[in-house]
Amino acid sequence: MNIRPAHPQDIPHILTLLNDHVRRGDVLPRTAQSIHDTLPDWLVGIDAEDELVACVSLLYYSQALAEVRSLAVADKVKGQGWGRSIVKAIIAQAKLQQVPILFALTRAVPFFQKMGFTISSRELFPEKVWRDCHVCPLLEHCDETAVVLHLTPQPIQPQNYPVIQLQHIQIGDLPMSKPTINKAVLAYSGGLDTSVIVPWLRENYGCEVICFCANIGQGEDELQGLKEKALASGASKVYVEDLRHEFAKDFLFPMLQSGAIYERQYLLGTSIARPLIAKWQVAIAEAEGADAVAHGATGKGNDQVRFELTYKALNPTLKVIAPWREWDIRSREDAIAYAKKHNVPVTHTKKSIYSRDSNLWHLSHEGGILEDPSNEPEESMYQWTVSPEKAPDEPEIVTVHFEEGVPVSVNDAQLPPAALIAKLNDLGAKHGVGRVDLVENRLVGMKSHGVYETPGGTILYAAHRELESLCLDRDTSHFKEELAVRYAELVYFGKWFHTLRESMQAFITDTQKTITGWVKIKLYKGNVIVIGRHSDNSLYREDFATFGKEDVYDQKDAVGFINLFGLQMKVQAMMDVSNGGKTRYAAPDYSKFKRD
């Protein structure tokens, strides 16, 4: 691989490469002048065809600190090792400059971890935090994670994570059936159950507890004061990561491209979120040197499987703790009593009769009157979408643009992935779009009744399906529909990181190369009505579809085609005639029927 310092003539090509990634929300925008001013700090990768296919730069904040930034690799060479090679080269350059600490803000955390970086805290790098934010499209909700690489043996010490001294518990005092745990990373939501799990883990395993909460669009109300509450419950450290961009770009959009719908109705809002949360749990466990992960899923639902299959796929050496399968807490009252006994702060709010799960993609409802599937859901249950009857009397037209199967704009306004979904959620919810009442088959064997609100997802699925109808040939389209059923099962069953799903995704990604264009949709009282679609890659051709004689199709050709296509049926009928004189579809003898 030819990796070299950047030259002035490289600047336009660097800009082109960066702008491709800026549009997707992967990197911050740069100007030609800013690249020119820092050109000695840039490296580029040149392929065998003398094209610039990779770039990266260093930004020096001091003699002791530099940032790895503007890392971009062209799509055509992804998976060939250019990213690893150019980052190794920039690390070597930092060593030559005797810079002891490198850091980066990134969404590609696993990639940087493989390069030796570890997860850190943005607060440790105040020089960076606001330097570029005024041009960032995610100014209000930064979703990047700080990672750091120490090029000298002396690491910087974290300053902002309060540590609560744990009560000393002798290992010999613990039940012998429990494994020895030193440190556990808990998937933490801030609700009653996971708040109680923190002291329960300390009491029953004698371990340090680190809490991790993923912001995947569940709303600011659920995140308010969460960090303080976790620390007050006994956690030694708390991570709250904004993963909305990663959720949309790396999980929701690939699933959208697959067309996966579980049991013909469910758009997999809860199912698709769990592997992302569990993936980050594993990453934090590895960064913190933890030997266990824990979750608050019950022993009779699907989520326990989704969490634990992800743990197994990404780090099978981690021990798994599922308190609901161990403890004797069986009710909300039991949990409140345990919380009071251990001085866990509990917010006294009226308990909803419904069990809900919300994120950027959907809002689900279970329990209450829904336990009887013959009951119509009460209107007050819905939290997101308006009733179709109360939706506006005037329809609204929405145009969604796609590039290679990825939605990139709504009504000609380009938006980052998470913001695009949020925009369509608002539009769909206003018109009562996306309500589903479903009895589904759980992985564990029982049936459950749930109601889902997925306004933006419903619009995107309809639009993507219509664009594929223009651009995919019949055989590929029909096979992809078969694949979508299996893909949906893999997601529902928690096998996102299974090799089969990943192999399916490679095929699906290949099918999306021509899925570029726009779809126009009318939203009206719960309905998503497609009223137009266009693509330069469309396989629909009026001149091919006419009934007159054309260069590409002669109607006389149909005779031979039909003879060959129906040959098996013809042979069967000939055998019937030769044996008994009639085919099995011969007309009945109506004279034998009695008349009324």
Active site (catalytic) residues: 193, 274, 303, 355
Distance between alpha carbon 359 and the CA centroid of its chain, in Å? 11
Q: Are 278 and 451 in contact (CB under 8 A)?
A: no
Two tokens, residue 104: 């980066």
Longest dimension (CA), the chain: 104
- The residues that bridge with 390 in the sheet, in sequence order, are none
- CA dist., res. 137 & res. 22, Å (int): 10
E-state strands within 154-244: 183-187, 208-215, 237-242
Strand arrangement of the beta sheet that strand 319-321 belongs to: 237-242, 208-215, 183-187, 292-294, 319-321
**Contacts with 411 (C-beta within 8 Å, 6 or more apart), sequence order:** 398, 399
- H-run or E-run covering 60: strand 52-62
In the sheet that 65-73 helps form, which strands lie side by side, from edge to edge? 2-5, 42-46, 52-62, 65-73, 101-106, 145-150, 118-119
Distance CA 324, CA 193 (A): 9
* 444: CB partners within 8 A, 6+ apart: 300, 301, 302, 305
Per the CB < 8 A criterion, the answer to whether 383 and 453 are in contact is yes
Both tokens assigned to 251:
């999980």
Instruction: Name the residue among 571, 223, 211, 253 with its Cα closest to residue 415.
Output: 253
Please tell me the distance from the alpha carbon of residue 116 to that of residue 32, in angstroms, as a whole number.
31
**Whole-angstrom distance, CA of residue 377 vs CA of residue 373:** 9
Q: Which residues of 86-123 are buried (b: 16+ CB within 10 A; e: fewer)?
A: bbebbbebbeeeebbbbbbbbbbbeebeebebbbbeee
Closest CA to 270 of 292, 285, 249, 255: 255
Q: Which of 418, 429, 517, 396 is nearest to 468 (CA)?
A: 517
* Tokens describing residue 234: 């006994």
Distance CA 247, CA 243 (A): 6
Integer CA distances (angstroms), 28 to 22, 70, 131, 416, in order: 6, 7, 11, 12
DSSP 361-401: S-EEEESGGGGSTTSPPPGGG-SSSPPGGGS-SS-EEEEEE
What's the one-letter identity of residue 527?
N
Crossing angle (nearest 10°) for helices 499-511 and 474-492: 150
Q: How far is Cα 546 from Cα 554, in angstroms, rounded to an integer? A: 11
